[in-house]
Amino acid sequence: MKRVLARSAALLAPLLLAAIATPRLGAWLVVEDPLDRADAIVVLSGTMYERQLEAADLYRAGYAPRIYVLREIQDWGEVELQQRGVRYTRIVDVQIDALVKVGVPREVITVLDSADSTAEEAGYVYDLVTKLKLSRLIVVTSKQHTRRARMAINRRLQGTGATVIVRATRYDRSDVDRWWRNRSTLRFTLFETQRLIAYWIGIAD
């Protein structure tokens, strides 16, 4: 552990300084694989509609016959409502309603449990591949999450023979070329850079 921490400290500071000073960092975080027909589309959690709409477009274009969406992490308010026996509309219910309204049949949508990390989402992808014998999946996420998501999922699927096609939603309008000009894009860029570095050196997922 001491060796890992020392290595982390030695690498993290200069890499972060270089990242902050690099105008191309935002765009570098964005990677995509060529589209091809797949067995299913998996929508990673994290947006209300951006990633879901991309999945709907891909489905309607004939790239895959099924869509898998993940529940959002419950907050304590939802837990309290459940304890009180109060019925309420979940975020995933609203998302599914929107998907149906833009032309996705309800019967082709499957809801997966919530995930607390990209590594946990990669575990769900692994389960789909191994339990349902899927050979190719399209994974939809936000622009600057694509590089880390692809790394995490491909690492998890090593040895399965499955192919993952990572796609950034076209509805993510973040200006990745001038990522420092918008507060939310700035935060997301720095967060993804830190997580990616930590993932490389083995201290985070």
Mean pLDDT of the chain: 89
- For the chain, the domains span 32-173
Which pLDDT band holds residue 7 (cuts at 50, 70, 90)? Answer: low
**The CATH classification of domain 32-173, taken from the options 3.30.9.10, 3.40.50.970, 3.40.50.620, 3.60.110.10:** 3.40.50.620
Q: Are 81 and 89 in contact (CB under 8 A)?
A: no
pLDDT digits (tens, 9 = 90+) for 59-69: 999 999 999 99
Q: What pLDDT is attached to residue 9? A: 54
- The predicted-structure confidence for 72-87, as pLDDT tens digits, reads as follows 888 899 889 989 999 8
- pLDDT value of residue 196: 87
140-186 residue pLDDT tens: 999 999 999 999 999 999 999 999 999 999 999 999 999 999 999 99
The residues near 16 (Cβ < 8 Å, ≥ 6 apart) are 193, 194, 197
Distance CA 168, CA 70 (A): 17
Question: With contact defined as beta carbons under 8 Å apart, do 51 and 149 qualify?
Answer: no
For the CA atoms of 123, 124, 125, 127, the dihedral, rounded to the nearest 10 degrees, stands at 90
Per-residue model confidence (pLDDT) at position 1: 57
* pLDDT tens per residue across span 16-38: 555 555 778 899 999 999 999 99
Cβ 167 vs Cβ 140: under 8 Å: yes
pLDDT over threshold 90, residue 203: no
% of the chain beyond a pLDDT of 90: 71
